[in-house]
């Protein structure tokens, strides 16, 4: 598809539906969401239904407030990809999972330096993006 001012290149789109529901089969033992009458609190059910498909492809439950806009629900649900991508990069490219020490301080230093390296790479990508067609 050709990019347009209303839909820039790289922007994702899809059909989403959100509804407030009370999930079944969940037991809330304690906490601020527990009610004395045993009724479960409402939450968002977010559904993605790809165009031309016979059924939805993805579902999410969220305890975000009832006044959360649909666009924000979708943005947060889809941000999971970014988190998984960054975690994979931390492990494979930056060595997050290579720590073999035995102390809390050593582990903490390793994780801190790995996170700092991730920040550096992210800043580098934002300030010096690749030119079109560059590998």
Q: Indicate yes or no: pTM above 0.75.
A: no
Per-residue pLDDT reduced to its tens digit, 52-81: 889 999 999 999 999 999 999 999 998 888
From residue 109, give the alpha-carbon distance in Å to each of 87, 101, 106, 113, 118. Answer: 17, 11, 5, 6, 14
Contact 62, 76 (CB under 8 A): yes
**pLDDT tens figures, 77-93:** 988 888 898 899 999 99
The per-residue pLDDT for 2 is 42
Given this model, what pLDDT does residue 88 score? 93
- Mean pLDDT score across all residues of the chain: 83
pLDDT of residue 129 exceeding 90: no
DSSP state of 4: B
**pLDDT tens digits, 14-48:** 799 999 998 876 666 556 655 666 677 889 999 99
Q: How much is the pLDDT for 48?
A: 94
Beta-bridged to residue 18, according to DSSP, are 46
Percent of the chain whose pLDDT exceeds 90: 50
């Amino acid at each position: 598809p050709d990019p347009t001012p209303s839909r820039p290149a790289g922007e994702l789109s899809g059909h989403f539906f959100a509804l407030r529901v009370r999930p079944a089969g969940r037991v809330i033992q304690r906490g601020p969401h527990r009610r004395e009458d045993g009724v479960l609190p409402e939450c968002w059910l977010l559904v993605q239904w790809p165009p031309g498909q016979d059924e939805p492809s993805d579902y999410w439950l969220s305890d975000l407030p009832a006044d959360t806009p649909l666009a924000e629900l979708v943005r947060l649900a889809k941000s999971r990809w970014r988190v998984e991508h960054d975690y994979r990069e931390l492990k494979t490219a930056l060595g997050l999972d290579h720590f073999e020490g035995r102390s809390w301080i050593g582990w903490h230093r390793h994780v801190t330096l790995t996170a700092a390296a991730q920040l550096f790479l992210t800043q580098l990508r934002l300030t010096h993006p690749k030119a079109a067609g560059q590998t």
